[in-house]
């Protein structure tokens, strides 16, 4: 009998006991397929985002190229996949904790990104919010509430990760913060640096656009 602490063996052991030696391996196959799907869902949003940004001239043009055969952003997908591998393999080999810290840091960037998206949604449709209760609730109020919650979680995480050795003297500390906070803030600042660098390099209409609001009849349907 496998120990409950042996996470890698629990599924296979109990699957064989419950389903038998013939059907039991299907559980492992389901786990493998699930892991593959999770990997794909990690790459797809980033590749599609970079593609749309490239089409708007906010990133290098190659990221916006579409495969004539598969109708997918091949260059963007491959680049994002390679970057993920380059980050994952050294993290896995250096230290298992560093990999988990990287995943925790990802939550900071997700909270930051979607909080901005929620506020931007309400601001973009601000002239349509008073047209109906539905618009106000689902286009204005709901995105703002979500953005406020994510902003709170972002700040709360940073506060919790401040001075990690305060309650746990054995905790790892980088520059006075827990590793996830340092990694997350580093990549956020890196994004800001790349933003200004690209803006300086590519003085195109994307950076000359004035703030816009939604089309007056966009939500009428």
Each residue of 116-167: pLDDT tens digit?
999 999 999 998 888 889 989 999 999 999 999 999 999 999 998 887 777 6
**pTM higher than 0.95:** no
User: Is residue 201 scored above 90 in pLDDT?
Assistant: no
Residue 25 in domain: no
As to burial, measured by CB atoms within 10 angstroms (0-12 exposed, 13-18 middle, 19+ buried), residue 177 is middle
Say which residues have a Cβ less than 8 Å from residue 144's Cβ, sequence separation at least 6. 118, 119, 122
Contact between 25 and 15 (Cβ < 8 Å)? yes
Q: State the average pLDDT over residues 180-190.
A: 91
User: Is 200 domain-assigned?
Assistant: yes
CB 114 within 8 A of CB 147: yes
Give the domain extent around 162: 96-221
Which candidate, 103, 55, 43, 105, places its Cα nearest to that of 79?
Answer: 43
For the stretch 92-120, pLDDT in tens is 777 778 878 888 888 898 899 999 999 99
Query: Residue 136: CB partners within 8 Å, gap ≥ 6?
Result: 129, 130
Q: What is the rounded distance in angstroms from the CA atom of residue 31 to the CA atom of residue 9?
A: 12
pLDDT on residue 190: 93
What's the chain's average pLDDT?
82
- On whether residue 48 sits in a domain, the answer given is no
- pLDDT given for residue 2 in this prediction: 45
| Residue 61 resides in a domain | no
Highest-scoring range by mean pLDDT, 22-26, 27-31, 43-47, 111-115: 111-115
Q: Is residue 124 part of a domain?
A: yes
3-state class of 215 per DSSP?
Answer: coil
Give the helix ranges, DSSP H, for the chain. 7-23, 25-55, 74-94, 96-124, 133-135, 142-160, 179-201
Tell me the per-residue pLDDT of 58-74, one tens digit each, with 9 for 90 and over: 888 899 999 998 888 99
Residue 104 lies in a domain: yes
Residue 209 lies in a domain: yes
Residue 154 inside a domain? The answer is yes
d(C-alpha 10, C-alpha 15), whole Å: 8
Angle in degrees, CA 114, 140, 125, rounded to 5: 90
Structurally, the chain folds into a number of domains equal to 1
Residue 1 has a pLDDT of 45
Predicted confidence (pLDDT) per residue in 35-51, tens digit: 777 777 778 888 888 99
The residues near 97 (Cβ < 8 Å, ≥ 6 apart) are 172, 179
């Amino acid at each position: 009998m496998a120990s409950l602490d042996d996470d890698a063996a629990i599924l296979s052991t109990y699957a064989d006991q419950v389903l038998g030696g013939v059907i039991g391996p299907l559980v492992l196959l389901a786990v493998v397929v699930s892991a593959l799907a999770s990997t794909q869902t990690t790459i797809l949003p980033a590749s599609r985002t970079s593609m749309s940004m490239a089409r708007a001239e906010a990133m290098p043009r190659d990221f916006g190229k579409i495969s004539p055969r598969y109708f997918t952003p091949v260059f963007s997908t491959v680049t994002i996949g390679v970057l993920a591998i380059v980050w994952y393999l050294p993290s896995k080999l250096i230290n298992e904790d560093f990999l988990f810290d990287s995943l925790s840091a990802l939550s900071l960037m997700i909270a930051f990104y979607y909080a901005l998206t929620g506020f931007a949604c309400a601001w973009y449709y601000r002239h349509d919010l008073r047209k109906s209760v539905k618009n106000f609730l689902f286009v204005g109020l709901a995105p703002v509430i979500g953005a406020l919650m994510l902003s709170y979680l972002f700040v709360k995480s940073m506060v919790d990760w401040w001075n990690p050795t305060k309650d746990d003297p054995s905790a790892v500390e980088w520059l006075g913060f827990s590793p996830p906070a340092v990694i997350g803030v580093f990549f956020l600042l890196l994004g800001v640096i790349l933003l200004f660098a690209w803006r300086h390099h590519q003085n195109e209409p994307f950076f000359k656009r004035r703030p816009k609001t939604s089309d007056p009849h966009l939500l009428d349907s």
